[in-house]
Structure 1
Amino acid sequence: MSSAKPHSTFNNPTQFIEGWYWALSSRELKVGRVKAVTLLGRNLAIYRGFSGQVVAIDAYCPHMGAHLAEGKVDGDGIRCFFHNWKYDSKGICVDIPSLVKPLPVCIKTWQTEEKYGMIWVWVGEEKPSSLPFVPELEEVECDYILGTRFVKNCHPNVLLINAIDAHHFNTVHNLPLEIVFNSQELKSNAIAFSNTTRGGDDSWLIRLIRPLYENEVTYSMCYWYGSTGTVTLGPDFLHFYIMFALRMIEGGKTEGQTILVTRKRSGCLGWGINRGLLWLTQQVGNYFAKGDTQVFQTIQFDLKTPTKADRSIIEFIQHVNRQKALTWGNWEAVNYSEDNDRHSSSTSLMLDYDK
């Protein structure tokens, strides 16, 4: 299946899934400051009001088109630098110095949330769904540190499939067992893949770590909005959690932020334990990233010859293509006139590898 077909959302540089996307780290935005951010082709001004509230607003003042990031924060609103028009946190014009009453002007604002030390923006017109989270930690208060920020020369969808590419664990990472995944859609915009493998008894490494696992080796991946993934791995008594927050940039490439997560532990001792665990989590992530990251600088993904080992990848492609797609730059909903083609393409791909 050619992943670049115009009616396929997966690996398409002109469209993306409606959802939550990271904009910048919380520490980059102090109270009373504003930042210019280009997110999925759209220019925004993101600022933190005096109350601490974060507001994401379309960048350009409707008066003469000045960029609002050139302006200044005023309370929980923002004033345009050029003529000092003020807009509140909902984008409504509330003051024009040269007029007694402001004009009925409004700029589009976008819902924001802060979690894992990041500012996230809900991209779309639908009511926001869940922020990405690690399924095991859904109801748990978490501690975290921000890891590496990176750019890759491929689409976020393609970068994410690396974690569920079962065969490459053998060919690249020399893992001495056959990986098999089960998939489960947690929500319409979230899908999880969990390892079901118990084998590898011919390997001294697997025999060595076997006592740490009651059942299969713990490894699972949960994808949100086709752009953010959370990895859970480790022995039964200690799981490591890594989040890969990705967003598409110009040309269908990827800008990403690694977030290392663990359960919050109380007190000074708990803080110290978590620092050690988060450091160890980073080393685990670096180990797996070391072997194959260079592939994503040169890959031209086009899955035309699928095998049974690619089942999880194909399920992820189908999951992405079922979700609501928006257009790069204007964030308008994609109006598919070729839904049947989308369905038939995915179906034929499944049939090819089952032969």
Structure 2
Amino acid sequence: MASTILKTNFNNSMQFIEGWYWALPSKKLKLGKVKPVTLLGRNLAIYRGFSGEVKAVDAYCPHMGAHLAEGKVEGNDIRCFFHNWKYDESGNCVEIPSLEKPLPVYIKTWETAEKYGMIWVWVGEEKANVLPFVPELEQVECNYMLGTKFIKNCHPNVLLINAIDAHHFNTVHNLPLEIIFDSQSLNNNAITFSNTTRGGNDSWFIRLVRPLYKEQVTYSMCYWYGSTGTVTLGPDFLHFYIIFSLRMIEGGKTEGQTILVTPKRQGILGCLINPILLWLTQRVGNYFAKGDTQVFETIEFNFQNPTKADQSILQFIHHVNQQKSLNWGTWEAVDDINNKNVKPQLKKNLLAYKQHEFNI
């Protein structure tokens, strides 16, 4: 069958999904400080006001284009270094030293949030949706630790499908059981894939660890905005949680940050156990990432002739292509006309896959 990948959102270096994207670790932005951040082709100045809240604004002063990260924070406002124009937390110019009254100009502001030790920026004009979270831990207070920061020579979408590439668990990681995923939409911007199979009875290792699992081996992946994935895995009595937060950089490559999460445990015992659990979580994540590293340095992604084991990948591609997309750099909405012609072809490809599946 011909390639199922069309130039809509998936693996597209010129556009991306509207949503929440990580900007920088919270600990790197001290009170009253400002940092320059380039996010999805757009330059921002991100600062922490003296109230403790984080503000994100377009980087360049509308007077002469000086970068506001060269300026200074005053209260919850930011003042440009070059001519000392000051902008409040809503982006309005509130003071120009050479004038009695400021001009009616403003800088664009972007909604921010802090979670899991990261500063996130909502990229888009629509009202901000929910921040990414681990479904099992939605209402649970958590401890967290920032893990590995990395750059990969492929698009974030391509990197993320690795977690639901069922067959590669056998070929790369030598997992002695078949993985079959069941997908479920969490909301319009999030989709989960959960393992539904038990299997592996021919493996002495699986028979050894079987008592630790009530039913199937616990492994699930939740994707948010096509860019952040939360992994849940482990035996019934102890689940490990890893967040892979990705953002596209120049050339359609990936800059990523892993975040290790565990439910907060009370008392002295919790203070002793949780750092160990977070350390173990990092080891688990490193184990699964190790075997795939070289693939994403050399891959020229061209998905053709899908098999039955690729069903989850096709479902993820379809999910990504249904999201509202923005243009790289400008953050303007992609013209809906561009997508009208490809959606019927996408449906045709998915139908062809379903027909193909029955013949496998």
Alignment of 1:62-141 (within 5 A): 62-141=62-141
Letter in 1 for 2:278: L
Alignment of 1:1-355 (within 5 A): 2=3, 5-6=6-7, 8-337=8-337, 338-352=339-353, 353-354=356-357, 355=359
Check whether the contact 2:70–2:81 (CA below 8 A) recurs between aligned residues.
yes
Check whether the contact 2:4–2:349 (CA below 8 A) recurs between aligned residues.
no
Closer, same or farther in 2 for the Cα pair 1:18/1:250, shift >3 Å? Answer: same
Check whether the contact 2:246–2:256 (CA below 8 A) recurs between aligned residues.
yes
- Whole-Å separation in 2 of the counterparts to 1:111 and 1:41: 17
Secondary structure of 2:194 counterpart: strand
Secondary structure of 2:278 counterpart: helix
Secondary structure of 2:294 counterpart: helix
Contiguous gaps of at least 5 residues in structure 1: none
String of CA shifts for 1:225-260, please: whole Å, max 9, x gaps. 000000000000100000000000000000000000
Contiguous gaps of at least 5 residues in structure 2: none
Runs of 4+ in 1 over 6 A off after TM superposition: none
- Whole-Å separation in 2 of the counterparts to 1:211 and 1:56: 50
Work out the percentage of aligned pairs sharing the same amino acid.
74
- Whole-Å separation in 2 of the counterparts to 1:77 and 1:31: 12
Moved more, 340-349 or 177-186: 340-349
Letter in 2 for 1:42: R
CA-atom RMSD, angstroms?
1.1
Letter in 2 for 1:59: A
* CA shift for structure 1 position 53: 1.0
- Whole-Å separation in 1 of the counterparts to 2:76 and 2:52: 8
- Whole-Å separation in 1 of the counterparts to 2:229 and 2:336: 26
* CA shift for structure 1 position 5: 4.1
Check whether the contact 1:219–1:234 (CA below 8 A) recurs between aligned residues.
yes
- Whole-Å separation in 2 of the counterparts to 1:263 and 1:351: 43
- Whole-Å separation in 2 of the counterparts to 1:3 and 1:261: 35
- Whole-Å separation in 2 of the counterparts to 1:213 and 1:22: 34
Check whether the contact 2:241–2:262 (CA below 8 A) recurs between aligned residues.
yes
String of CA shifts for 1:265-307, please: whole Å, max 9, x gaps. 1122211110010001011111111111110111111112111
Letter in 2 for 1:342: K
Secondary structure of 2:336 counterpart: coil
Check whether the contact 1:16–1:328 (CA below 8 A) recurs between aligned residues.
yes
Secondary structure of 2:65 counterpart: coil
Check whether the contact 1:3–1:301 (CA below 8 A) recurs between aligned residues.
no
Letter in 2 for 1:66: A
- Whole-Å separation in 1 of the counterparts to 2:263 and 2:346: 42
Letter in 1 for 2:342: D
String of CA shifts for 1:52-111, please: whole Å, max 9, x gaps. 110000000000110001101111010000000000111000111111111111110000
Check whether the contact 1:3–1:12 (CA below 8 A) recurs between aligned residues.
no
* CA shift for structure 1 position 149: 0.2
- Whole-Å separation in 1 of the counterparts to 2:224 and 2:56: 21
- Whole-Å separation in 2 of the counterparts to 1:74 and 1:9: 40
* CA shift for structure 1 position 262: 0.4
* CA shift for structure 1 position 347: 3.2
* CA shift for structure 1 position 50: 1.0
Secondary structure of 1:293 counterpart: coil
- Whole-Å separation in 1 of the counterparts to 2:344 and 2:142: 39
Check whether the contact 1:230–1:242 (CA below 8 A) recurs between aligned residues.
yes
Letter in 1 for 2:64: M
Check whether the contact 1:4–1:12 (CA below 8 A) recurs between aligned residues.
no
- Whole-Å separation in 1 of the counterparts to 2:111 and 2:224: 17
Check whether the contact 1:143–1:261 (CA below 8 A) recurs between aligned residues.
yes
Check whether the contact 1:71–1:78 (CA below 8 A) recurs between aligned residues.
yes
- Whole-Å separation in 2 of the counterparts to 1:197 and 1:23: 37
Q: Report how many aligned residue pairs link the two structures.
A: 354
- Whole-Å separation in 1 of the counterparts to 2:26 and 2:57: 17
